[in-house]
Amino acid sequence: MIRYFSTNGRAPIVALPEALWRGQAPDRGLYLPERFPVLDRSTRASFASLEYPSIATQVLAPYIAGTFSQDELEKICRESYDFAVPLEPVRHRPGVWVLRLDGGPTASFKDFAARWMARVLGRLVAQKGESLVILTATSGDTGSAVANAFHRVPGIRVVVLFPHREVSDRQRRQMTTLGDNIRTVAVQGKFDDCQALVKRAFADPLLQRFPLSSANSINIGRLLPQCVYYFYAASRVAGPDEPVVVVVPSGNFGNMMGAVLAWRMGLPVRRLVVPVNENDEFPRYLATGRYEKVEPARACLSNAMNVGHPSNLARLVAVYGGWMDETGHVHRAPDLAAMRRDLFSVAASDDQTRAAMQEAWHGHALLLEPHGAVAWHGLRQYQQAENISEAPVILLETAHPAKFPEEIEQLLGFRPSEPPSLRGLEQLPESYDILEPRYESFRDYLIAHLSS
Ligand SMILES: *Cc1c(COP(=O)(O)O)cnc(C)c1O
């Protein structure tokens, strides 16, 4: 059975249900598995002929052993992944594939993790006969994915915080039109303010009587399912011994940590390319070895990546032998040389993001929204810098272009067609509360709402 330790090293090692329940470890560290189960060559080779839910079951089985049976896990994966996961070749760029992770109900990659975790937690709550409050901060897409995934799950209430002026109308409506067990709060601040409020709430003794958990990408239940699509995509485009280049547009670094996990679990990877937007703390850290957050976070076009201090860096640093605490202070340096060998990171300005959208469309008939365009820019920079083109490339497009109709119309001259999941939101009534970014106000609000 795999157990989970805290990156701050000052909390007990726990089994999966407790790690899921807590979200953040009591020492404010993030949970990581004690070891990475390795999938052997024949298992990975067999993935080529398996569908997504079956691959997910095999990849995730070692992590949930002792919590659910393999049959139960298979059911969870089938329910979670009942949509298409397209992998598109790119015109005039042989060997480059775009993995579109936008087929879920809220049309972003976050559906993959949120849907799995909601089903896992829903079953745990039912087993224990208890209730749970999911408290989560979102810079755009997490909130809608989480709210949608947990909507009407018995025994679970959800409180979502989002930065009032930094999410699009549509992103807001995806959260605020659900109702039932979903409550949404617009914070008059930035994503980092929302995240700080949530973090303080978890550490607040006055809130200990509420069964709080987090569905942010800091929850290990959000991380584990994000390693599956790398195995899936590689099985479609490369042999079991053939290393792939993976390109992951990154903000809070949960998605790229999924790739790191997959790599440690035996997926052959040549290089993990981690492009970011103007919040460039990570490429600067890689280059200089000195970590400095971007405060306040910069508001960029790729708004789900506007993160000035990615929580998951603590995990990345831990995997490379270092220790970064939750404030971003590096107590023990990771193996930076190894990180530089494995990872490549660049920042894309908004202008470069727009240019990448245009170049992808006009040069390759490839429709990208701003997050995918940051990835495209990063891939170009990587290929120029390293002059490598032989390995198959898997580039993640993390949202559906129809989530950014104004930008696309302005740049490319047409409006992308909407998937069914995004239609009709304008007709539904919205409900949300507005709060200032002050912890005491937020605590009062939570106590009033949760005591009712
Ligand atoms: C959340 C999000 C990202 C960033 O993912 P992280 O795991 O936070 O790095 C990228 N693109 C989209 C569309 C997102 O919603």
Ligand 1 mean position to 401 CA, how many Å?
Answer: 14
Is 25's pLDDT higher than 70?
Answer: yes
Answer whether 184 contacts ligand 1 (Cβ < 6 A): no
Answer whether 250 contacts ligand 1 (Cβ < 6 A): yes
CB under 8 Å, gap of 24 or more: what pairs does 281-285 form? 281/308, 281/309, 281/310, 282/250, 282/253, 282/310, 282/313, 282/345, 283/345, 283/346, 283/347
Is 155's pLDDT higher than 70?
Answer: yes
Mutation test residue for ligand 1: of 175, 255, 276, 279, the one with most atoms within 8 Å of CB: 255
Q: What CATH number is given to the structural domain containing 322?
A: 3.40.50.1100
Q: What confidence category does residue 221 fall into, taking pLDDT thresholds of 50, 70 and 90?
A: very high
202 and 253 share one domain? no
88 and 118 share one domain? no
State the chain's mean pLDDT as an integer.
94
**Does 12 map to a domain?**
no
Q: What confidence category does residue 198 fall into, taking pLDDT thresholds of 50, 70 and 90?
A: very high
369 and 335 share one domain? yes
290: helix, coil or strand? Answer: coil
Answer whether 181 contacts ligand 1 (Cβ < 6 A): no
Taking the C-alpha atoms of residue 247 and residue 397, their distance in angstroms, rounded to an integer, is 9
Q: How far is CA 341 from CA 270, 286, 287, 335, 427, in A?
A: 9, 10, 12, 10, 50
Number of domains in the chain: 2
Ligand 1 mean position to 130 CA, how many Å?
Answer: 31
203 and 269 share one domain? no
Is 162's pLDDT higher than 80?
Answer: yes
What's the angle, vertex CA 238, arms to CA 232 and CA 241, rounded to 5?
Answer: 105
The residue contributing the CA closest to ligand 1 atom 8 is: 252
214 and 244 share one domain? no
Residues 6+ apart with CB under 8 A from 266: 38, 39, 40, 41, 44
- For the residues of 228-243, what is the DSSP string, one character each? HHHHHHHHHHS-TT--
**Does 39 map to a domain?**
no
214 and 267 share one domain? no
Contact 224, 254 (CB under 8 A): no
Answer whether 305 contacts ligand 1 (Cβ < 6 A): yes
366: helix, coil or strand? Answer: coil
331 and 433 share one domain? no
Strand bridging mode 156-163 / 182-187: parallel
**Does 60 map to a domain?**
no
Ligand 1 mean position to 276 CA, how many Å?
Answer: 10
Ligand 1 mean position to 448 CA, how many Å?
Answer: 32
Answer whether 398 contacts ligand 1 (Cβ < 6 A): yes
Q: How far apart are the first and last CA of the chain?
A: 39
**Does 421 map to a domain?**
no
Q: What confidence category does residue 328 fall into, taking pLDDT thresholds of 50, 70 and 90?
A: very high
**Does 9 map to a domain?**
no
Q: Which of 128-132, 337-341, 342-346 has the lowest mean pLDDT?
A: 128-132
Mutation test residue for ligand 1: of 252, 260, 309, 368, the one with most atoms within 8 Å of CB: 252
214 and 255 share one domain? no
**Does 139 map to a domain?**
yes
**Does 42 map to a domain?**
no
Cβ-based neighbour number of residue 83 at 10 Å: 17
C-alpha torsion sign, points 78, 81, 84, 90? negative
The boundaries of the domain holding residue 289 are 84-103+227-412
120 and 268 share one domain? no
How much is the pLDDT for 169?
85
Quick one: which of 253, 251, 252, 259 has its CA closest to 229?
259
Taking the C-alpha atoms of residue 201 and residue 442, their distance in angstroms, rounded to an integer, is 9
Answer whether 215 contacts ligand 1 (Cβ < 6 A): no
What's the angle, vertex CA 324, arms to CA 319 and CA 330, rounded to 5?
Answer: 125
What's the angle, vertex CA 83, arms to CA 78 and CA 87, rounded to 5?
Answer: 115
Taking the C-alpha atoms of residue 424 and residue 178, their distance in angstroms, rounded to an integer, is 13
407 and 275 share one domain? yes
Ligand 1 mean position to 93 CA, how many Å?
Answer: 25
* Atom in ligand 1 nearest the alpha carbon of residue 145: 15
263 and 406 share one domain? yes
- What are the backbone angles phi and psi of residue 97, rounded to the nearest 5°? -125, 140
Q: How far is CA 169 from CA 26, 178, 194, 357, in A?
A: 36, 15, 18, 22
Ligand 1 mean position to 302 CA, how many Å?
Answer: 9
247 and 116 share one domain? no
Answer whether 225 contacts ligand 1 (Cβ < 6 A): no
Cβ-based neighbour number of residue 275 at 10 Å: 33
Q: Extract the tokens encoding 152.
A: 């009407």
Prediction pTM value: 0.92
How much is the pLDDT for 452?
74
Q: What confidence category does residue 70 fall into, taking pLDDT thresholds of 50, 70 and 90?
A: very high
Residues 410-418, mean pLDDT to the nearest whole number: 95
Q: Tell me the one-letter amino acid at 108.
A: S
Residues 6+ apart with CB under 8 A from 20: 117, 120, 121, 124, 213, 219, 220, 221
Q: How far is CA 121 from CA 138, 162, 169, in A?
A: 19, 23, 29
Answer whether 279 contacts ligand 1 (Cβ < 6 A): no
- Measured in whole angstroms, the distance separating CA 37 from the mean position of its chain's CA atoms is 21
Ligand 1 mean position to 451 CA, how many Å?
Answer: 33
Is 420's pLDDT higher than 90?
Answer: no
**Does 153 map to a domain?**
yes
Is 389's pLDDT higher than 70?
Answer: no
